[in-house]
Amino acid sequence: MTDRPNILFVVIDQLRADCLTGALADHVDLPNLQALRADAVTFLNHYSVCNPCGPSRASILTGQYAMNHGSVRNGTPLPHDTPTLGTEARRAGYRPMLFGYTDIARDPRQHHPNDPDIHTYEAVAAGFDELVEMRLDESFPWRAYLKSKDYDLPDYSLFYAPQGSDPCDPAFYRAEDSDTAFLTDCVLRDLAVRPPGWFAQVTYIRPHPPFVAPEPYNRMYDPASLPRPESVSVEHPFLDATRQSKTAASCVQGLPDLPDSEETTAKLRALYLGLASEVDHHVGRLLSFLKDTGQFDDTMIVITADHGETLGDQGCWGKSSYLNSAFHTPLIIRDPRKPNGHGRDVVQPTESIDLTPTILSRIGVMPPDTMDGRDLGVFLDGDVPTDWRSHSFSELDFGDPIEATNVQVSLGLGASEANLAILRDGTHSLVHFNGGLPAILFDHTDEGEARNIADDPQSAEKMLMLSQSMLDHRMSNPGGRFAQTMVSAAGVKTAPRHASGDKTSLNVAKVLRESASL
């Protein structure tokens, strides 16, 4: 075991937590992820702090809530001087390699209007070297590879269309040549010649739609054998608008007349699970490589998802929702230096902003004051901190300041009003909407998301308590690079936000007094 670990950071796009631990876990085969859990720490109540892809990855890589980094939509720029996992890992001498994508829109103040980097929301986060481009709108290396294998390539607008009239018909490429297989091949070829001390972020696009899978994954699961999605029961203007804006047909290429039926829903859920199994197979190849090359115990492994997928729950598709299935994500971390925590399940609430501080702390870099997340190292040690957060917090912006979204138009909201926030404690979830829309309250000890109890008289006290907690949360996590810094007669003084490990903040005034007395 070396002092300078390798870092393998795997982000699986749109993988729901219940595929690993929950309602779908008994219906999907994920042998490699499940086996890793016995040799790692699994975080059972892990949530993305925002959706969709770009904002969720911005939060993961900056360790910031969306309200602080401001990149709240796909295409909303991230300020160029925001510290990221990539920029901070370089302080420890790492060269962070990106195999895949980060979906970070670049700061236009730093680029000429003709610069290609500000003509895509899929640009690369600062600090990362893009070794293999696998952006959803491009994927040129993979397409070139398929061309070299003598595939007759369709137009890219139909690249992910099934080869038939049934959504479960196979993709035009074979499993050994899929986007998932190709990316894994590239990672393994590169790491095979890398000296120890490498840093790799690997991003799998699957099981993100368009839903299509190569054989045998396209029919790996019988649709009729799967549990049905959560039924449509809650009435709310936002829910009505989101159901209309994204249908089952919008998740599949080439089948615009696909009906919104129970049969279609079951088939798409089966496809989704097949794609998840395909990713698991290739994650297993990465883990086998580490073991076969003697690097398993020299590598910190972090496996998670950027966000979830509603998959027909409450009649919704995608991730632009308040539902748990859109935000609840898997998280497995293996730190070979901390065997006491291996095999443990953590039930305390954790958030996607915790990943970057955890990785940075492992490689000896103090997370910058801009980062809202906390180091999960204490859990990896097998301990439970006494001052851990009691809730998780998430945000969703569903508007567009340039071209209003269908949901925004349907609700009659301006872009600045088209947003919501979610606070979850141990028993309840509060969904607060901007723009005058009514709040939603769920009791997860009772009917959960099947019933909104916000208007029940006996829920008034809980509504008030969670509303106050949400306000406290926002006030306790102010944005700003200099929130922990003061300028005084003694000069510039800083109380580092993350200096004391588990503590989330320090008293700046106290530090200033102590510094002045030295």
* Nearest residue to 241 (alpha-carbon basis) of 407, 400, 403: 407
Q: What is the pLDDT along the chain (518 residues), one digit of tens a residue?
A: 667 899 999 999 999 999 999 999 999 999 999 999 999 999 999 999 999 999 999 999 999 999 999 999 999 999 999 999 999 999 999 999 999 999 999 999 999 999 999 999 999 999 999 999 999 999 999 999 999 999 999 999 999 999 999 999 999 999 999 999 999 999 999 999 999 999 999 999 999 999 999 999 999 999 999 999 988 788 999 999 999 999 999 999 999 999 999 999 999 999 999 999 999 999 999 999 999 999 999 999 999 999 999 999 999 999 999 999 999 999 999 999 999 999 999 999 999 999 999 999 999 999 999 999 999 999 999 999 999 999 999 999 999 999 999 999 999 999 999 999 999 999 999 999 999 999 999 999 999 999 999 999 999 999 999 999 999 999 999 887 888 899 999 999 998 999 754 343 333 334 333 444 44
Among candidate residues 19, 50, 53, 251, the one labeled active-site is: 53
Q: Which amino acid is at 187?
A: V
Q: What angle do CA 3, 361, 72 make, to 5 degrees?
A: 140
- Using only the alpha carbons of the chain, give its radius of gyration: 23
- Residue 483: the pLDDT is 87
Tokens matching residue 340: 């006491």
Q: Where are the domains of the chain?
A: 6-235+258-390, 393-476, 485-517
* DSSP-based three-state secondary structure for 178: coil
Q: Which amino acid is at 132?
A: V
CATH architecture of 6-235+258-390: 3-Layer(aba) Sandwich (3.40)
The residues, ordered by sequence, that sit 6+ positions from 88 with a Cβ below 8 Å of its Cβ are 127, 356, 360, 365, 367, 368
Tokens matching residue 435: 């723009």
Spatial contact of 323 and 316, defined as CB atoms under 8 Å apart:
yes
pTM flag (> 0.85): yes
- Residue 479: the pLDDT is 83
- Residue 124: the pLDDT is 98
Spatial contact of 421 and 395, defined as CB atoms under 8 Å apart:
yes
Spatial contact of 110 and 116, defined as CB atoms under 8 Å apart:
no
- Residue 293: the pLDDT is 98
Calpha distance 484→477 (Å, rounded): 11
- Residue 504: the pLDDT is 38
- Residue 511: the pLDDT is 39
Q: What length does the chain have?
A: 518
Active site residue 53: yes
Calpha distance 389→145 (Å, rounded): 47
